[in-house]
Amino acid sequence: MISATPESWQLLKGSDDYFASLIENFQQAQKEIYLETYIFNFEAKGEQVGQALWACAFRGVRVRILVDGVGTPNIPNYWMARWQSAGVECRIFDPVSSGNIWFPSRWRRMHRKLCVIDRSIAYCGGINILDDWFDPKLNKMIQQPRLDYAVAIKGPLVKDIHRTMQQQWQRINIARNLKETQLQFTLEQLKKVNFKWRKNEGKHTHSTLILRDNLKHRNNIVHAYLHAIGTAKQEILIANAYFFPSEKILRAFKQAARRGIRIQLLLQGHYEYIVPYRATKHIYAQLMREGVEIWEYQSSYLHAKVAVIDGRWTTLGSSNLDPLSLLLAKEANVVIQDPIFANELKESLQACIQAGGVRIEPSTHLNRPWGQRWLDKICNDLLRLAILISGKRYR
């Protein structure tokens, strides 16, 4: 457990750390657990999390789980029946079929990874309930785990995270009830439901919850990054799984580099989806021309979405710097301003760069084969076309 200080954070690297911390606190839960995750996979150690949640509900703890309809299209029948028998409440956000996933309106996914236990401890990060040693595409264990992070939080910020998750759960239940009774409410009517949305105005001097959704928090994460990059004085270190920043963020990176700020980007070296991976490579050159260092993580899959700026400002969460996260999905990041925590995350990232990172040299990148250049451009154009089809402006 985290020590009971007024506000404290514990950096968790990978699912090994994250699952162990979750399960320990699940076992001590007395009243309620809220969990949101894009993916809930029951293979390997994911099964231990599922079992711990069942045990909590079985002994009377209220357990509410929200998963995404694309990341987790269904819960296995065995687990759903087992959970329901114990009283676990599980909802699937916006389930989709194989046909309607191609409609842009269905691209608005619930991508958050949050958890609150007894309103006393909260978690935020990029780690799904998916064992980092398991590859669901290959359906087998892998030799090196995904690189990812989460943070366990105690203090005033827990209240904000709990409120956010409780409101999301209420909205899901309203939508479910409307569907069951076949009532047609417009989005504007749904917005008028009596929820007391409250922006976190930075009253907690050390940490802040930053949301992105399609209602009242459309640009919060973008603005947080732009402000942090724009006011950087020394260095910027970012690890991001899907990196396809808007023109504003690209411009902020370039301006920071021209001010003499050292910028290091740790990006995917092994890809899960070829289009975003190759599209990102198409923008390498314009960043490297300004002196931005680009490293690709080769040890395994990189799934992290974290940043450290000037040895004090850090962010961890679910949001990539790409159009899906910044234009469409529901995301949640935590910003922590603390030099000790920032140094811990920075040291971990630097160790990953040294152990598994390969620096992309400008000369090598510019002289890559023509076939790779054309593939990069085609993927870049495809991604921009998808943005255009979505009807969103990504500038």
Model pLDDT for residues 256-282, shown as the tens digit of each residue: 999 999 999 999 999 989 999 999 999
Q: Is 216 among the catalytic positions?
A: no
Per-residue confidence at 173, pLDDT binned at 50, 70, 90?
Answer: confident
111 vs 67: CA distance, rounded Å: 9
Q: Is the pLDDT of residue 166 over 70?
A: yes
Query: Which of 13, 111, 154, 281 does the annotation list as catalytic?
Result: 111
Q: Is 322 among the catalytic positions?
A: no
Q: Which helix (H) or strand (E) holds 210?
A: strand 207-212
Long-range residue pairs from 72-75, CB within 8 A, at least 24 positions apart, any chain: 72/37, 72/38, 72/39, 72/40, 72/41, 75/40
* Contact of 312 with 337, CB cutoff 8 Å: yes
Q: Is 206 among the catalytic positions?
A: no
What pLDDT is recorded for position 204? 40
Lowest mean pLDDT among 51-55, 158-162, 388-392: 388-392
Please, is 294 exposed, middle or buried when counting C-beta atoms within 10 Å of its C-beta (0-12, 13-18, 19+)?
Answer: buried
Q: Is 113 among the catalytic positions?
A: yes
- According to DSSP, residue 391 is labeled T
Query: Which of 282, 303, 330, 346 does the annotation list as catalytic?
Result: 303
3-state secondary structure 7-75: CEEEEEEHHHHHHHHHHHHHHHCCCEEEEEECCECCCCCHHHHHHHHHHHHHCCCEEEEEEECCCCCCC
Query: Which of 310, 338, 365, 392 does the annotation list as catalytic?
Result: 310
* Contact of 129 with 46, CB cutoff 8 Å: yes
Q: Tokens at residue 107, please?
A: 């691209």
Query: Which of 162, 305, 330, 346 does the annotation list as catalytic?
Result: 305
Query: Which of 13, 45, 113, 330 does the annotation list as catalytic?
Result: 113
Closest to 336 in 3D by CA, of 312, 300, 301, 303: 312
Model pLDDT for residues 7-40, shown as the tens digit of each residue: 899 999 999 999 999 999 999 999 999 999 999 9
Question: Positive or negative CA dihedral for 363, 262, 335, 210?
Answer: negative
In this prediction the pTM is 0.91
Which CATH number is correct for 8-191, 1.10.10.60, 3.40.50.720, 1.10.1130.10, 3.30.870.10? 3.30.870.10
Q: Which residues contact 287 (CB under 8 A, 6 or more apart)?
A: 250, 253, 254, 257, 265, 294
Q: Where are the domains of the chain?
A: 8-191, 211-390
Q: Which residues contact 132 (CB under 8 A, 6 or more apart)?
A: 14, 15, 16, 145, 146, 148, 303
Model pLDDT for residues 207-260, shown as the tens digit of each residue: 999 999 988 899 999 999 999 999 999 999 999 999 999 999 999 999 999 999
Query: Which of 118, 204, 270, 338 does the annotation list as catalytic?
Result: 118
Superfamily of domain 211-390: Endonuclease Chain A (3.30.870.10)
Q: Which helix (H) or strand (E) holds 257?
A: helix 247-258
Q: Is 179 among the catalytic positions?
A: no
Within this chain, domains 8-191 and 211-390 share the same CATH topology = yes
Model pLDDT for residues 305-364, shown as the tens digit of each residue: 999 999 999 999 999 999 999 999 999 999 999 999 999 999 999 999 999 999 999 999
Q: Is 213 among the catalytic positions?
A: no
- Helix axis angle, 247-258 relative to 220-230, nearest 10°? 10
